[in-house]
Amino acid sequence: MNEKPIFVFIPAYNEEESIERVINGLKKLKLNLKIYVIDDGSTDRTAGKARKAGATVIRHPINIGGGAAIRTAFTLAILNNAEYIVTLDGDGQHDPKDLLKIIEAAKDGVDLVIGSRFLKKQKQEMPRYRLMGIRLFSRLLTKKVKTKITDATSCYRVYKTKMLRRTLPKLRENQYYGLETIVRMAENRAKIKEVSITSIPRICGKSKKGVLKYGYNLMRTLLRTLT
């Protein structure tokens, strides 16, 4: 995999406080990376700071949601004939060093590698309601896809682009895409695997997701995907 460029996509919305640090952390890995930031209609300096750090910026004129940003990423991956792509958040909660681990896992014939914060015991810097929600939806997804899932909402992933060609036309969710992509890829008989990643506090502090909104939208997404 290292012979070809590794395409890295970072969906971002108003992440001016963290985006440069995320990109610089990836560049320190000394890998052949093509880093794209999918700026989903940010109203701050996310796009400018991402360009300054050396990323290619694809900008949505308005904020649509993380799911829309990830569909743009998948489309670009297919157009560029990428073998694999990496996705991670722009808020600094993902450790760039874990990229090596999830890429290594993708070499073993895996179509989707999910970086899980829950495979090993570690302190989770997140509100209790989010932790409980992730565990609940992970259990529900495990039953649906017949594969052990512990971190259904993690967006630190490696996707095999060949599988994305079959999955992309089925994706509809504009925001909470993490659940939908797992289900749709499983329907295409994708091989899915989790690897342990480090859980670190987000650079920009508090999540943009509210308590009720977060739970409602996760449940809405899951019900819509499963029906």
Taking a C-beta distance cutoff of 8 angstroms, is the pair 155, 89 a contact? yes
What is the rounded radius of gyration, in angstroms, for the C-alpha atoms of the chain?
16
Do the domain assignments include residue 196?
yes
CA distances from 186 to 74, 111, 121, 141, 160 (A): 17, 10, 27, 10, 13
Do the domain assignments include residue 60?
yes
Neighbours of 123 (CB within 10 A): 6
Element housing 195 (H / E): strand 192-196
Give dist(CA 148, CA 221) in Å, integer. Answer: 20
Query: What 3-state class would DSSP assign to 129?
Result: helix
Q: Give the strands of the sheet with 56-60, arranged side by side.
A: 56-60, 33-40, 6-12, 84-87, 157-160, 112-116, 192-196
Residue-wise pLDDT tens digits, 52-109: 999 999 999 999 999 999 999 999 999 999 999 999 999 999 999 999 999 999 988 8
Do the domain assignments include residue 127?
yes
pLDDT of residue 75: 98
Q: Is the pLDDT of residue 1 over 50?
A: no
Name the domain count of the chain: 1
Do the domain assignments include residue 209?
yes
Q: Can you give the CATH number for the domain in which 34 is found?
A: 3.90.550.10
Taking a C-beta distance cutoff of 8 angstroms, is the pair 12, 37 a contact? yes
Higher pLDDT, 145 or 122: 145
pLDDT of residue 159: 97
Band of the pLDDT at 208, cuts 50, 70, 90? low
Element housing 86 (H / E): strand 84-87
What residues make up the domain containing 143? Answer: 6-226
Do the domain assignments include residue 45?
yes
Q: What percent of the chain has pLDDT over 70?
A: 85
Do the domain assignments include residue 1?
no
Query: What 3-state class would DSSP assign to 45?
Result: coil
| Mean pLDDT of all residues in 120-126 | 70
Band of the pLDDT at 205, cuts 50, 70, 90? very low
